[in-house]
A and B are shown apart, each in its own frame.
Chain A
Amino acid sequence: MDTVDLARLQFALTAGAHFLFVALTLGLATLVAVVQTRATFSGDPVHLRMTRFWGQLYVINYAMGIVTGLVMEFQLGLAWSGLTEYAGDVFGAALAMETLVAFFVESTFLGLWIFGWNKLNRWAHLAVIWVVTLTAYASAFWIMIANGFLQHPVGHVLENGRLRLVDFGAMVANPAAQVAFGHVLAGAMVTGGFFVAGVSAYHLRRRTVERDVFRKSLRIGLGVALPGLFVTATFGGIGFQTMQPGKVAAWTGSAERLAAAQAELAAVHGPGDHLPPVDVVQTAGITMLVLFAVMLFLGGPSFLLMLVRPVVHGFRPWHGLLTLMIPLPFAAMLAGWVFREVGRQPWAVYGLLTTSEAMSPLSHGRLVFSLTAFTAVFGVLIAVNVWLLGRHARRGPGAVALGDRPVEAPVPVLSF
């Protein structure tokens, strides 16, 4: 592999790993906030147990989202300084907005939510989880604005070999960003919904004593996942209209369209291969669509089955099926990202800057070192965290540490 391939692989692995956790974070945060709202209004201990149980899984998952996200943010400057130099004045603005408007607040308030349990007033604590959830959406929004610019650059002019932002509104209103944001956010609801439904089904299948917790949770999970599928598909469908000609041509595989897209880009950029790899784009797109079909085929009847209480408590083959479905949205998400990102190749900023031009001047050895180190560390941490998610999910609400009241509480003394 040459250095560009290594740098691409490094970014793809980091972003892919990051997104697995992000998708669950966005979905679970929403469900935790909804459940905590019910718990706060009703004071019902079942709702409180649900909040703490799903909240604990949310926090385990979130920690991995942070560490992979950090590495992703810094990788832009590390390995893609050609991109930051050429387009940083435009898409860097969206990244700056993401860190300040969204992630800074999200992280600060998440600390307050985790450690402020039984310390904050319960209404304040509820407000905090909603701020965490909404800033998580805002974070996804600004990241998609940045990504949408790379897919379909708007709102800029080229000056002295660098892009300059002239129309902030156009960059934010970019359909390639807005539609993808809707697609991704709804996809995250599907991910969170099937996760909650699958874990709940596991416990119901084992004849849990926490029947109320998991019956309600299963209904919330499927109740979010099925509408989420429709919304995801709607945005996905509209998304095909916002795609660059190269990606559409690769997806359809039509020789005519491929030649047209190639000719259009060659007219501006001269001879060369300006098209994405057709087989990868098609495989990723088909994988995503097949997984969507499977989820819809199983999710639709499940939505009806969950309305019947004895079925929810006792239909064990169905429980097993729901648990087996947990990985499907994750796989569909990854396939969707491969479709979107590989389909943009060989461009970093479509039609303006190629991926090889975007790369930092780095030696082969340095990239092999960082790729090996990141892959090893993240490989271990992801394995440990997936195992922990499974372990804590299996243990049920009885063993949750989040929101536990301290055993002994001496008189507090001010430290500053």
Chain B
Amino acid sequence: MEIFVLAFFVLGYLVLAGADIGVGMALPYLGRSASERREVIAAIAPFFLGNEVWLVAAAGVLAGLFPELEGELLSGNYTMVVALLLAWVTRDAGLWLRGRVPGARWQAFWDGATVAGSWGLALSWGGLLSHVLLDIQGPLAALPALVVAALFAAHGMTFAALRLRGVLRERAAVLSGGAGEARTYALTSAAFLTVGVLAGLRLPLEPGTSGPLLAPVVLALIPLLVAAQGWVWWTFRHRVTGPSYL
């Protein structure tokens, strides 16, 4: 039961936030001008807050249900996790701040932060997953990390193809070929699920002692949380028609 709860939030994070991180990575390719970039960001804007919170929840589940693993995993990968957090903060700052001041240089700077932060996030995830999955650390880990980062970028592109219109959609759909946008998105999602499950199987998933009390509460909450997210997805189910608040 505890393992299901943890898997639910980690896998949910990879599939959902993987898409907005990937869009951030592909931002210079998808959006060639400031106004195009703003429209590309509108594809993820209503979702990224609700997506990144899956990782916050996963960390909470780790703290409550697997406290020993939490300490081992985070302090044992200290530098990588710190890099991941710094990249996360940089990416979010870029998204929030780009529109706060009019001016090409200000926006270009914070778009740069979004791109750098998204790459940093994807590469840190790559490093962490290759450590857990393949037990590789050091310079050699760059190779699997790049493969994971490429998966993030591809996933982001397929999501952008689903959300954008016109020339932006065509650019994003370059990976899909004629295969259909939804099917390509399903494929990259499945790749994320596979990587996540394989990594999970390599972890010492020994639950702590609060599971019998906490896990049923969390299980009961999950339908509510999914419904809340479902409302967001329903509200923003249409393709992007112009710039958003960000």
A107 at the A/B interface (Cβ < 8 Å)? yes
Chain A contacts with B in 194-209, Cβ cutoff 8 A = none
Can you name the residue of chain B whose Cβ is closest to the Cβ of A73?
B59
Chain A contacts with B in 383-416, Cβ cutoff 8 A = 384, 388, 391-392, 401-402, 404, 406-410, 412-416
- Judge whether B67 and A85 touch: CB under 8 Å: yes
Across-interface contacts of A103 in B (CB, < 8 A): 53, 56-57, 60
Across-interface contacts of B208 in A (CB, < 8 A): 88-89, 92
Alpha-carbon gap, A162 to B209, bound state (A):
10
Alpha-carbon gap, A121 to B242, bound state (A):
20
- Judge whether B209 and A84 touch: CB under 8 Å: no
Alpha-carbon gap, A184 to B99, bound state (A):
32
- Judge whether B60 and A99 touch: CB under 8 Å: yes
- Judge whether A388 and B100 touch: CB under 8 Å: yes
Counting chain A CB atoms within 10 Å of each CB, the highest count among B45, B57, B74, B217 belongs to B74
The stretch of B24-32, B133-141, B144-152, B224-232 that contacts the partner chain:
B224-232
Alpha-carbon gap, A416 to B43, bound state (A):
12
Across-interface contacts of B85 in A (CB, < 8 A): 70-71, 74, 374
- Given known contacts A90-B210, A401-B245, A416-B162, is B75 in contact with A360 (CB within 8 Å)? yes
- Judge whether A77 and B218 touch: CB under 8 Å: no
Chain B at the A interface: SS class: helix
Alpha-carbon gap, A48 to B122, bound state (A):
41
- Judge whether B74 and A81 touch: CB under 8 Å: yes
Tell which of B50, B79, B213 touches A111, judged by Cβ atoms closer than 8 Å. B50
- Judge whether A111 and B241 touch: CB under 8 Å: no
How many whole Å from B68's CB to the nearest CB in chain A?
A: 5
Across-interface contacts of A82 in B (CB, < 8 A): 71
- Judge whether A60 and B79 touch: CB under 8 Å: no
Across-interface contacts of B108 in A (CB, < 8 A): none
Can you name the residue of chain B whose Cβ is closest to the Cβ of A98?
B60
Across-interface contacts of A412 in B (CB, < 8 A): 238-239, 241
Can you name the residue of chain A whose Cβ is closest to the Cβ of B185?
A416
Across-interface contacts of A67 in B (CB, < 8 A): 88-89, 92-93
- Judge whether A104 and B235 touch: CB under 8 Å: no
Alpha-carbon gap, A93 to B162, bound state (A):
38
Can you name the residue of chain B whose Cβ is closest to the Cβ of A90?
B210
Alpha-carbon gap, A265 to B241, bound state (A):
66
A377 at the A/B interface (Cβ < 8 Å)? yes
A79 at the A/B interface (Cβ < 8 Å)? yes
- Given known contacts A63-B96, A88-B68, A96-B65, is B239 in contact with A78 (CB within 8 Å)? no
- Judge whether A96 and B238 touch: CB under 8 Å: no
Across-interface contacts of A120 in B (CB, < 8 A): 235
Across-interface contacts of A168 in B (CB, < 8 A): 213
A369 at the A/B interface (Cβ < 8 Å)? yes
Across-interface contacts of A314 in B (CB, < 8 A): none
- Judge whether B68 and A99 touch: CB under 8 Å: no
Q: What number of A residues sit within 8 Å (CB to CB) of B?
A: 79
Chain B contacts with A in 97-148, Cβ cutoff 8 A = 97, 99-101
- Judge whether A414 and B79 touch: CB under 8 Å: no
- Given known contacts A92-B64, A415-B163, is B78 in contact with A366 (CB within 8 Å)? yes
Across-interface contacts of B61 in A (CB, < 8 A): 96, 99-100
Q: Encode B21-51 as 1/0 by CB contact (under 8 A) with A.
A: 0000000000000000000000001111110
- Judge whether B79 and A99 touch: CB under 8 Å: no
B171 at the A/B interface (Cβ < 8 Å)? no
How many whole Å from B110's CB to the nearest CB in chain A?
A: 10
Across-interface contacts of B70 in A (CB, < 8 A): 76-77, 81, 84, 88, 92
Across-interface contacts of B56 in A (CB, < 8 A): 70, 73, 99, 103-104, 107
Alpha-carbon gap, A407 to B60, bound state (A):
41
- Given known contacts A99-B60, A366-B78, is B213 in contact with A109 (CB within 8 Å)? no
Can you name the residue of chain B whose Cβ is closest to the Cβ of A367?
B78
Alpha-carbon gap, A161 to B144, bound state (A):
39
Alpha-carbon gap, A107 to B54, bound state (A):
10
- Judge whether A381 and B93 touch: CB under 8 Å: yes
B62 at the A/B interface (Cβ < 8 Å)? yes
How many whole Å from A167's CB to the nearest CB in chain B?
A: 10
Can you name the residue of chain B whose Cβ is closest to the Cβ of A164?
B209
Across-interface contacts of A159 in B (CB, < 8 A): 209
- Given known contacts A93-B64, A111-B232, A360-B75, is B59 in contact with A99 (CB within 8 Å)? yes
- Judge whether A89 and B239 touch: CB under 8 Å: no
Q: Encode A117-147 as 1/0 by CB contact (under 8 A) with B.
A: 1011000000000000000000000000000
Q: A99-B57, A406-B241, A415-B238 are in contact. List 4 more A-B contacts (CB 8 A).
A: A95-B64, A105-B228, A115-B245, A117-B245
Listed in ascending order, the chain A residues whose CB lies under 8 Å from chain B are 60, 63, 66-67, 70-71, 73-74, 76-82, 84-85, 87-90, 92-101, 103-105, 107-112, 114-117, 119-120, 159, 162, 164-165, 168, 360-362, 366, 369-370, 373-374, 377-378, 381, 384, 388, 391-392, 401-402, 404, 406-410, 412-416
List, sorted by A's number, 10 A–B pairs whose CB atoms are closer than 8 Å.
A74-B74, A101-B221, A108-B229, A109-B228, A111-B47, A168-B213, A388-B101, A409-B242, A415-B237, A416-B162
Q: Which 7 A-B pairs have the closest CB atoms?
A: A88-B67, A81-B71, A96-B64, A99-B60, A77-B74, A360-B75, A412-B238
